[in-house]
Amino acid sequence: MKVTMVGISGSGKTTYMSSLYETLGDAGQNDAGFCLAPRSMQPFDKAILSIGDFSRFSLADTFSWPDGTQQTTVWPFTVFYNSKPVTYFDWIDYRGGILTEITDIPDSNDTSEITKSEISDLASHIELSNAVILVVDAFVLTYYSNIKEARHRSGARRIHEIFTTYSRVYPNRNLTFVIMLTKADTVDSKWKSDNYAPLIERGLEVFNQMVSLCKQNPDWQGGIVPVSAVGEGNAKRTVVPTGDVMHPFKSEDKIIGFPAPLNAEHVLFYCLGQTLKQMKVEAHKSIKQREKELSEVLKKAGLVNKIWSLITRKPDAESIARAILEEKNKDYEVLSQFEPHIEPLLNKALERVRRIA
């Protein structure tokens, strides 16, 4: 399955990879029994190297933030539960700038070929994703008291445009999404009371359109959760107003304590758990459907059909139907190995992710 992060530049997408490494990497210290490793079919030495790639995201090694993303990166991961593989997924990290470039280009004829192909690349990643993570900077949400300005500056407005279009193009598609409010450590303490309840309310207000799309569409399920890559008190933010309307403030974050990510695994577990749950429903549905189709084909497939397939060397309808059914059954067999883990994943997620709708 595929999970794509969507958010403007600087919203905290790549840093979330660091949080995943710190909480769920092989050296991660979590008690839930889940962990995460880059998927690798290669020999041990190559597998170790790919773990090294992942560890580059560690915040604790250098106490500095990851670099800005220059191009789309796709990370193939496997999730383990008590050392056994539970599920796999591809993780897609974007150059956030691409989001603003979709509509900010004054003359679309001028759009460079590279940007165009990046945009269509983003679109197809979203199309193929089972789940999307909508990434917004919590500090930006709370810095601007005008809700429309907060929507604009945080990138929520861009995200609304994309998913309103998505819902028109695919009115009946399943979609799992999580609104991830990043850098929760940096907001004023008044937003943090009662487990960040005021911040979550603000997030729901800013994402009003996503919330109403979700309420209208029974095939969509959404959640919202504040996260931090470092945890409370482990980073110091300096904010300087600039007087420039384009970029009203400059900020700098310095890591000053040992990173202890907040709610990192909950975001991922919500995406994986919901997707697996949906696949389970579909697998059941299509097996019934296939069985029905198969029995109809078998009824019709008489001698004529068999002779025809002998002459043309094409498989007859009956064998096609059987092959399809077998394929579906195989999918379901794999899925059924994951089944016992779906509930634990979702339960863990829902300790922190608030459901929308």
DSSP secondary structure string, 58-72? -HHHHSSPPPPP-S-
Shortest distance (Å) from residue 211 CB to ligand GTP? 22
- For residue 155, state whether it binds ligand GTP (rule: CB under 6 A): no
- For residue 69, state whether it binds Mg ion (rule: CB under 5 A): yes
- For residue 235, state whether it binds ligand GTP (rule: CB under 6 A): yes
> Angle at CA 94, nearest 5°, toward 239 and 250?
10
Shortest distance (Å) from residue 298 CB to ligand GTP? 54
- DSSP letter at 237 equals E
Shortest distance (Å) from residue 98 CB to ligand GTP? 8
Closer by beta carbon to ligand GTP, 65 or else 332: 65
Considering only residues 10-69, where is the footprint of ligand GTP by CB under 6 A? 10-15, 65-66, 68-69
> Could you give the strand order of the β-sheet that contains 131-137, starting from the edge strand earlier in sequence?
34-38, 73-81, 84-93, 2-6, 131-137, 175-182, 220-226, 354-356
CB 148 within 8 A of CB 102: no
Shortest distance (Å) from residue 11 CB to Mg ion? 9
CB 140 within 8 A of CB 157: no
235 binds, among Mg ion, ligand GTP, none (CB under 5 to 8 A by kind): ligand GTP
Taking Cα atoms as reference points, which of 212, 103, 232, 201 lies closest to residue 167? 212
Span interacting with ligand GTP, options 4-12, 172-180, 266-274, 345-353, rule CB under 6 A: 4-12
Q: Write down the H helix ranges in the chain.
A: 13-24, 44-55, 59-62, 97-104, 113-128, 138-143, 147-154, 156-169, 193-206, 208-216, 264-300, 303-312, 317-349
Distance CA 136, CA 143 (A): 13
Q: Which member of 6, 89, 95, 143 binds ligand GTP (CB under 6 A)?
A: 95
Q: Write down the H helix ranges in 193-316.
A: 193-206, 208-216, 264-300, 303-312
Closer by beta carbon to Mg ion, 18 or else 217: 18
Q: Which member of 9, 58, 209, 305 binds ligand GTP (CB under 6 A)?
A: 9
Q: Which member of 4, 11, 14, 130 binds Mg ion (CB under 5 A)?
A: 14
**Binding string, 125-164, against Mg ion, x = CB under 5 A?**
----------------------------------------
Q: Which residue of the chain is nearest ligand GTP when measured via CB?
A: 96
- For residue 176, state whether it binds ligand GTP (rule: CB under 6 A): no
Residues that bind ligand GTP (CB under 6 A): 7, 9-15, 65-66, 68-69, 95-96, 182-183, 185-186, 228-230, 235, 237, 253
